[in-house]
Chain A
């Protein structure tokens, strides 16, 4: 049985009414993964036994009338979330077979809501990449065209939803890692405001930028998933103690009378014509839905990629120091002493992109360079944050492209890391500013590849942003298309 056309809410109704059991649903999901993952490589670990056991338990809860938000619903998470008893690899050789002794806060929240975790999703190693190619578990493929990348780094999180393997997933977004793959795979992905969702138990890439975000097939499911994981966590000092609204409650509020800004720096000459076409049509749709469209300016946009990569790599160089082979992970030691063990372990354990970023980050923090690089980048970050504060005094939200091009071919940019970094140009500024943003489907390229549109909301205004996304989704049918696999 396949259930890939069902939404979370539909599954929930069938489970509660007894039309469907969680075991059937979970088995269907596992079957779908088995049938399609050979082509996609979206999963690193599928936990069939654990999932079916949890599903059987969920069925008992359902039978007893104890249905929480996600009771019995199979989901999957990026392999960056620590999960008790199931390995957490971060798609890195250095964490091959690493099993965490604890669950991330977001995993606990999913479990508390009754979700069935069917597996751990493939990704760019340590979330470093925009294509899903930097994985020790092999590249992830785009369900719309398996010769193309699904985007990254939450590559499996987007591909699995697009292919109907699971109804929803969690990813992480440091510079666009939820939104860009969601865009390339034609699904909905959301990066919450920094501090909205706990980072505890999520393997850190760049601590001041990382944020957990849901991926789903439609806006309502995405809102539901966000509600399930959002909220203050005393174990994460950077999580913010402000109440979580019911994101589903006013989802249908519409956008009439809302002011949507188009930052002129995002509508540059040379934007891919397929992207331009999709975005222009989306702008027109919003106009028809009653929104007021105005041009605004985010003057420091040009500096955001440079600023982002300095900060992200500096933080990463420090965050990844703990992978030293001493306490866990794959140690390499040919007996050349302590430094030899460190060098061999880290040389063998990290992939090229991770090494590149550790080296660049280490350099940026080094004495004599710190002021010129890291400190300067922090100052620019403040300017970028101020840019957003200023435009949000003028408009309710922003509308931009997600990525400069649709999904590119596997291998196309592997030897051009700089070009790869530039593919995050439209998503990076919101991570620097800490505000919320999401990606939703707004068309297809001539080649039949999904094109995404990005909405950027005010800090902690996820509800308002989701309302605008929902209005657009109701007015279009892009989200209803599914790839043939």
Chain B
């Protein structure tokens, strides 16, 4: 925190929706296809073509609005944002300007520095994306309109954030929400979740906002944090040098760790917004909103609270598991099979996440299904295998995809609980280690660990450790 200046940050996030089709036509929007192969007269902006709004996009916008505590407008309007650029086929982008579909929302965040805080969401509106320019070696540019007309939600926050940490906390939570809702794949690299940051500073106590700079090209949470912090320092330097911060758009260069002014954009663009006469005002009934509300999944915060309450998980465990929807699905399926939530949480957070991280896999790619893991846990629970043997079983199940029972059977890993069998091993160990026996009997209790270890080793890990312990104590005391 700077002692002289207060930092003010507002964020604009573009969320690319995972709908099958584009927002105003039936074209597929699959990523990475041959240029201009996923186009039609509508998304090419050909003369005479007209847009028709996708209902799915409206559903997704309502979902996002409800999940961020917005009011859903019964009446919203699509507007044309007019400007010329080769990736914009109609010469205007269909967006929402006055009367967006969602307004007045908020998210609660928590940071180490400022604790719990509520951040305002000004609006969420629907719009179409532009195409892409491909710059060729010869200095020519080509236009790929596969991306043109793909649906976006723009989520605009209030300028409520006071540090880069708060901005990141907000973004991570928003990211989690849209991914949880299943409306966005959340991929920052491919531009499915894009953020522009408006940053300004003002002397502490000043009501009026300082002149802001808009930061673009922020395609990872780390870069966003870097870019904001760089910008704050830059603005302090500008003001300390007796100069004024100019309103401008700045492009962040992650390699150099600096941002550069985008020349020519300093004059505010006049986009000549006006309501699009090709699209009727959108009427969203209460019933429509209710239908969408009924289908909303349980959101992360609610899940976290339920895991702590219903399952008795510690706050940390509940937070880790509720972070991603697929992980919660895995965990909840596991608990259904093996009703010991804390043990399930330990295995999911430790063994599963650890192994996934080693192999660089996502939970969806995990070779051990909740059913398979549940099978292992059941065998620990009924003392068929020890916790230690379970780790071996886990590895085998991971590699082979076989069930725990198959692995235990094939490898003969079943725990030895026959007291006669263990007793004979104990006798052998006592007979083979007279020195240690003497020391133990002389009062060196610590040696119990040694004896147990020897028994386990002799039984290839299969002896029930509790029984081994008991028998050793009994025999050594004789």
A residues near B (Cβ < 8 Å) are 81-82, 88, 90, 95, 98, 100-102, 104, 199-204, 206-208, 234-238, 314-315, 317-318, 320-324, 326-328, 338, 342, 362, 365-367, 370, 374
Contacts and interface: CB of A to CB of B under 8 A. Distances in A.
B91 A102 contact: no
Contacts of B50: 199-200, 235-238
Interface stretch (B276-284, B286-294, B348-356, B458-466): B276-284
A199 B279 CA distance: 12
A315 B272 contact: no
Interface stretch (B41-49, B219-227, B407-415, B426-434): B41-49
A239 B244 CA distance: 53
B322 to A, nearest CB: 41
Interface string B40-82: 0100111111111100000000000000000000000000101
A250 B468 CA distance: 103
Contact of A237 (B90, B143, B278): B278
B182 interface: no
B143 A318 contact: no
Contacts of B279: 237-238
Given A200-B48, A238-B50, 9 more contacts: A100-B48, A203-B47, A234-B52, A237-B278, A318-B91, A321-B90, A321-B92, A322-B90, A326-B143
Nearest to A378: B275
Contacts of A98: 47
Contact of A370 (B48, B90, B274): B274
Top 6 nearest A-B pairs (CB, nearest first) are: A321-B91, A208-B277, A207-B277, A365-B272, A201-B48, A203-B47
A326 B270 contact: no
A366 B143 CA distance: 28
Nearest to A101: B41
Contacts of B326: none
B186 interface: no
21 contacts: A82-B46, A100-B47, A101-B46, A202-B48, A204-B278, A208-B277, A234-B52, A236-B52, A237-B52, A237-B53, A238-B280, A318-B80, A318-B272, A320-B91, A321-B92, A322-B89, A327-B44, A327-B143, A342-B84, A370-B274, A374-B274
Contact of B48 (A104, A314, A315): A104
A317 B273 CA distance: 12
Nearest to A90: B47
A321 B143 contact: no
B254 interface: no
Contacts of A324: 84, 86, 91
Contacts, number: 101
A318 B274 contact: yes
A338 B277 CA distance: 29
B421 to A, nearest CB: 78
Contacts of A236: 50, 52
Q: Is the interface of A mostly helix, strand, loop or mixed?
A: loop
Most B CB contacts (10 A, CB to CB) among A238, A324, A362 go to A324
A204 B91 contact: no
B91 A366 contact: no
Given A328-B46, A342-B84, A102 B272 contact: no
A448 B246 CA distance: 69
A420 to B, nearest CB: 24
Nearest to B53: A237
B141 to A, nearest CB: 9
Most A CB contacts (10 A, CB to CB) among B143, B272, B278, B280 go to B272
Interface in B78-101: 80, 82, 84, 86, 89-92
A204 B48 contact: yes
Given A88-B47, A95-B47, A237-B278, A327 B89 contact: yes
B47 A327 contact: no
Contacts of A362: 272
A326 B45 CA distance: 11
B224 to A, nearest CB: 30
A367 B272 contact: yes
Contacts of A365: 82, 272-274
A321 B84 contact: yes
B91 A203 contact: no
Contacts of A206: 277
Contacts of B91: 318, 320-322, 324
